[in-house]
Amino acid sequence: MTAAEAGDDAGARAAVEAALKSRQTLEDRQRLAAVWQQLKDWGRAEAALRGLIKEAPKNPGLRLHLACVLALKGDRAETLAELARATALKPDAVDRQRIAFLHADLKDWAPARALLDTLIAEKPGDASLRLDRAAVLARTGPRELGLEDLAAASASSSSDERRRAARLYGEFGEAAKAKAALEALAKDAPADPVPLLDLAELSVKAGDRAGARKALEAALKRPPAVGALRRASAAYLELKDHADAVDAAKRAAELAPRSASPRLDLAAALARSGRKGEALAALSAAEAIGPDLQERQRMALLYQDLGESERARGMLEALIAAQPADPQLRLGLAFFEADAGSEKGARAALAAARARALDPDDSARAAALEERLAEKAAAPLCPRPRSPPLRRRPCRRSPFPRRPRRPRRPPPDRGPRPSASAKPCAFSPRAIIGRPRPCSTSC
């Protein structure tokens, strides 16, 4: 295992720098370019491969390798051009299959389907070719031909091909077949957590929360690996089990202390848990390690989710300056500006993204954003809300509010009033008041 495969990016870079000082053959320089690619240093990998192509311009493998690096760099137009040059050099069957895979990865379905049809006609029993065509047919159809390819590939003895066939059954909507195949793979490989993680992700998509948790718990009991723990954390986040997602991400970060990606997973889990301070601390730790371009793009999105808008915008603009040919970065900036309420900035970034080659999915996202901006511009301005009615202030002389007055009670019914001509009772107040007082002298 190399240092890059172990997650030691700094050690791998030091080894490559030491190797560059020694004399190398053509194969050694191509291997060094592959190491730069594994370290996600696309600029150095591209420079090394272009130098090799100048020395061997008719080597289709070098053209294909350069196309892979350009695809990872996000330069769709240059990738398609290099694939056309590699195809014109009449590559062998292995390179043609890789060319078809790259066309499918770029969502350029027609050339991928044509190449795979030719290869399957030459090797009808090749399970990997059948799976590649099934992956294309899952997007384009026809469905029946794709299911036939999966049935032919499922008889393979390779566990990787069987696992890939199970995943493709899930994409075709055959959940029962996918589940049965993954359960069989999990029994055949009791120490491998990958089939159980596939089963957990299938259960999450199907809405089976109990089945997903059961598969995740069984997968985490097996020997841990960084990739398995990262996938488990992402699945727990889909289930909104934030505490378990944080625990899995912490374990992955402990196993790969020099890799930024597990710390980004931890920051995402902490952000979803509402622990903003800890999430920002995890992002700072990932930034101190030295993330690559893809990891910095993810960091910008996490900063945006945490409300750090200015920092997120600065990172996105720096990424665009480092990768000016990548339209996805400009499209991401357009969505960021739209969410921030800047219609002018969103339209400028969207126009810059459309000026480059977009794949079908990105074209659909750009159209959706354009429609969203048009609806917002056509929407009428909201009327000014009326102010609430003023309440009556209490008396200033009293610190307490005035109590409401009680309604007056009607007088009690005392019966009919006596007339003026009637003689009053001798003991009534009227009779007493009307008597003449006796003279005081005579008394």
Please give the pLDDT value at position 24: 67
Please give the pLDDT value at position 441: 46
How far apart are alpha carbons 258 and 290 in whole angstroms?
9
Binned average pLDDT, 10 residues per bin, the chain of 443 residues: 52 57 70 83 87 90 91 88 92 92 92 93 91 92 91 82 89 90 88 90 90 92 89 93 93 91 94 92 91 85 87 88 84 86 88 85 87 78 58 56 69 62 52 50 45
For 221, other C-beta atoms within 10 Å of its C-beta total 10
Pick the CATH number of 191-283 from 2.40.10.10, 1.10.10.10, 3.10.20.600, 1.25.40.10: 1.25.40.10
| Topology, domain 293-355 | 1.25.40
Q: Are 315 and 68 in contact (CB under 8 A)?
A: no
Please give the pLDDT value at position 442: 45
Please give the pLDDT value at position 423: 54
Sign of CA dihedral 89, 93, 96, 98: negative
Please give the pLDDT value at position 160: 86
Please give the pLDDT value at position 241: 93
Please give the pLDDT value at position 1: 45
Structural domain spans, the chain: 1-91, 191-283, 293-355
Equal fold, 1-91 vs 191-283: yes
How far apart are alpha carbons 24 and 362 in whole angstroms?
41
- Dihedrals φ, ψ of 143, to 5°? -65, -40
The CATH superfamily label for domain 1-91 reads Tetratricopeptide repeat domain (1.25.40.10)
